[in-house]
Amino acid sequence: MKILITTLLMMLVDLSIFNVAYAATSEVTWTDYEKYHDIRPANGHRKHFRESTFYNFEKHFTKLAKRLPEGQVLKIDVTDVDLAGDTNAGGIDRIRIVKNVYFPRINFSYQLLNTDGSELDSGEVKLKDMNFMSSSRLKYRNESLGYEKNMLDKWFFETFNERLIKQVK
């Protein structure tokens, strides 16, 4: 029994070290966020909503970057965000109404840097998902920014497919 437990623990440690060894990092910059199209809360404090939204985006970019080879850095400079839905409707109590006409958009530039700091890839990106409500692949259905995360995933995997580390399941 001790041998089985010891073997399982060693395998678990090996797998956790393996996953850590293959992880790039990400850096996100929010340029002129006061001019973004829609980063407004339905109800609540605007600053808190903005900080929470930025945190969720940064966490998602970090998750995606971990699929890239170790030592690489994915730099993102976000220049505009328009979240799915709209908060201009609803009278006194604002609510975010999500309809097909209020599709998510995000504009940013990116750089992928190698371990020595040299640029591997870069570009200007203007993402929008006009069919965001028709997709059957809403992986983040119960998460904040689910439509936006789906859109970012699609861009990431199309852009960096050849560079991705193949994860062992």
> For residue 166, is pLDDT > 90?
no
Query: What is the pLDDT at residue 120?
Result: 93
CA gap 79, 6 in Å, rounded: 51
Q: Which domain holds residue 66?
A: 23-163
This prediction's pTM: 0.78
Is 56 part of a structural domain of the chain? yes
pLDDT tens-place string over residues 12-38 = 444 444 444 457 899 999 999 889 888
Residue 45 belongs to some domain of the structure: yes
How many domains, in total, are found in the chain? Answer: 1
- For 42-62, what is each residue's pLDDT tens digit? 666 678 888 999 999 999 999
Share the mean pLDDT of the chain: 81
Structure tokens at 95: 């609510």
- pLDDT value at residue 167: 53
Collapsed DSSP state (helix, strand, coil) of residue 31: coil
154-159: average pLDDT: 94
Query: pLDDT higher for 77 or 134?
Result: 77
Question: Rounded to an integer, what distance in angstroms lies between the CA atom of residue 162 and that of residue 45?
Answer: 42
Q: Is residue 1 part of a domain?
A: no
State yes or no: pLDDT of 123 exceeds 70: yes
Q: Give the E-state strand segments of the chain in sequence order.
A: 25-30, 73-82, 105-113, 119-128
Asked if pLDDT for residue 76 goes beyond 90, the answer is yes
Q: Which residue has the higher pLDDT, 40 or 38?
A: 38
Reading the block at residue 80, the tokens are: 């505009």
Q: Is residue 5 part of a domain?
A: no
Question: Has residue 111 been placed in a domain?
Answer: yes
Range in 1-5, 64-68, 77-81, 91-95 the model is least confident about: 1-5
- Any domain includes 12: no
Q: Which residues does 76 contact at the CB level (< 8 Å), separation at least 6? A: 26, 27, 28, 29, 61, 108, 109, 110
Distance in angstroms (rounded) separating the CA atoms of residues 60 and 54: 10
Tell whether 90 is covered by a domain. Answer: yes
Distance CA 151, CA 104 (A): 8
Predicted confidence (pLDDT) at residue 4 exceeds the cutoff of 50: no
Inside any domain, residue 35: yes
- pLDDT on residue 168: 43
pLDDT for 63 equals: 95
What is the token pair recorded at 142? 């119960």
pLDDT of residue 42: 63
104: tokens are: 């998510």
**Pairing of the two strands 25-30 and 73-82:** parallel
